[in-house]
Amino acid sequence: MSYNLNKKLVDLVPYDPITGKYSIRLDANESCFELPEKLRDKICESIRKVSFNRYPDPLSTRPIRAFSELYGVPEELISAGNGSDELISIIEGCFFEAGDTIVNVSHDFSMYQFYAQLYEVNVATYQKEPDLTIDPDKLIEFCKENGAKGLIFSNPCNPTSLGLKREDVRKIISSLDGCLVILDEAYMDFWDQSILSEVNDHDNLIILKTCSKAIGMAAVRFGFAIANKTITTALRAAKSPYNNDSVAQTIVTEILAEKEYLEKCRDTIVASTKQLYADIKALNDKLGCFEKVYEPCTNFVLIRTDEFQKIYEYLLENSIAIRKFSGFLRITAGTPEENAAVIKMLGRYFGK
Ligand SMILES: *Cc1c(COP(=O)(O)O)cnc(C)c1O
């Protein structure tokens, strides 16, 4: 007897998050806010009431209602998933057929390509400009040339931290007849160019939102897909029936109702990111240590540097985890103390 894994599994490179214990974690763009005790107690009280012997609500009605109230989109246009990750997987697996082409952009979130590969969907990658921006006309042209059935990108973008203005996003969507645009607004809470309110005006648009970043609930695994009625009906039908467990649904319903708390967290994170950017830029102006520091519209700062590997390792040795990519470092905005620690260590690395 023998068994050989197929080629796509043999070739699969698994996602490799930083594990290990580090005193400062600025590697995964999580919120720096731990849940306050009062909210924690409230959530625990609600979890006590969960019917643990029963399957969860297959439609996540309560979290979807809470999301609808917070973001002002009708409930019937919202689907829930076990993290945006699951939604990306379902969408790429079900809205495309083997052999179809999806366009992604580089650099962008790696999971888009990861799932497409598993579903034997072709991926054509559009290269951004050298300054990491997207030229909307070139992207439209690229999609047409490749006969794309789908286009997926994050806005603002992880890892570049840069954003495309609303007019440009609208132009891309309306120029691609027959092509499904999957717009990942995971970081849009930190910027002001969302097109969530106009999702129903488009035949070919799905917007993704997550509870893992501005909402501060990465531990819980909850994401939302927002699209017109036709797409939403298909998506709800295609997902596995009990994808969001009752405990997660309970927690997310509670947290999304905390409008003021969430706004305060978001404003603080935006201010923290501005400060982190200013401090890294000041360091760079003084020492000329990096090739470029990008002005972010996210909760993290991207740095272009050839020394990415050495700096990354130096920070790890000092118990600070950040993210590295070939030629780049990405640092999540943390608490004022965490930001100060990373700035101090960067200064020390450059001998100042
Ligand atoms: C972090 C992130 C997400 C969130 O994924 P979850 O599975 O909801 O945690 C989605 N898209 C992008 C671009 C991200 O950076």
- pLDDT by residue for the chain (352 residues), tens only, comes to 899 999 989 988 888 778 888 999 999 999 999 999 999 999 999 999 999 999 999 999 999 999 999 999 999 999 999 999 999 999 999 999 988 999 999 999 999 999 999 999 999 999 999 999 999 999 999 999 999 999 999 999 999 999 999 999 999 999 999 999 999 999 999 999 999 999 999 999 999 999 999 999 999 999 999 999 999 999 999 999 999 999 999 999 999 999 999 999 999 999 999 999 999 999 999 999 999 999 999 999 999 999 999 999 999 999 999 999 999 999 999 999 999 999 999 999 998 6
pLDDT at res. 15: 82
pLDDT at res. 13: 85
Looking at the chain, which residues constitute the CATH 3.40.640.10 domain(s)?
Answer: 37-257
DSSP string, 274-323: HHHHHHHHHHHHHH---SEEPPPSSSEEEEE-TTHHHHHHHHHHTTEE-E
For ligand 1, what atom is nearest to the CA of residue 213? 1
Question: Contact at 8 Å (CB) between 198 and 188?
Answer: no
Q: Measured in angstroms, how far is the CA atom of residue 186 from the centroid of ligand 1?
A: 6
Whose tokens are 């070739």? That residue is 11
Is residue 265 within a helix (H) or strand (E), and if so which, with residue range? Answer: helix 259-287
Q: Measured in angstroms, how far is the CA atom of residue 11 from the centroid of ligand 1?
A: 23
pLDDT at res. 138: 98
Residues 6+ apart with CB under 8 A from 137: none
**How many whole angstroms separate alpha carbon 129 and alpha carbon 172?**
16
- Verify whether ligand 1 is closer than 6 Å to residue 156 (CB atom): no
Domain 37-257 in this protein, CATH class: alpha beta
Looking at the chain, which residues constitute the CATH 3.90.1150.10 domain(s)?
Answer: 24-35+260-349
Q: Measured in angstroms, how far is the CA atom of residue 298 from the centroid of ligand 1?
A: 13
Length of the chain: 352
pLDDT at res. 352: 63
CA distances to 114, 115, 126, 248 from 82, rounded to whole Å, are 17, 15, 28, 9
Domain 24-35+260-349 in this protein, CATH class: alpha beta
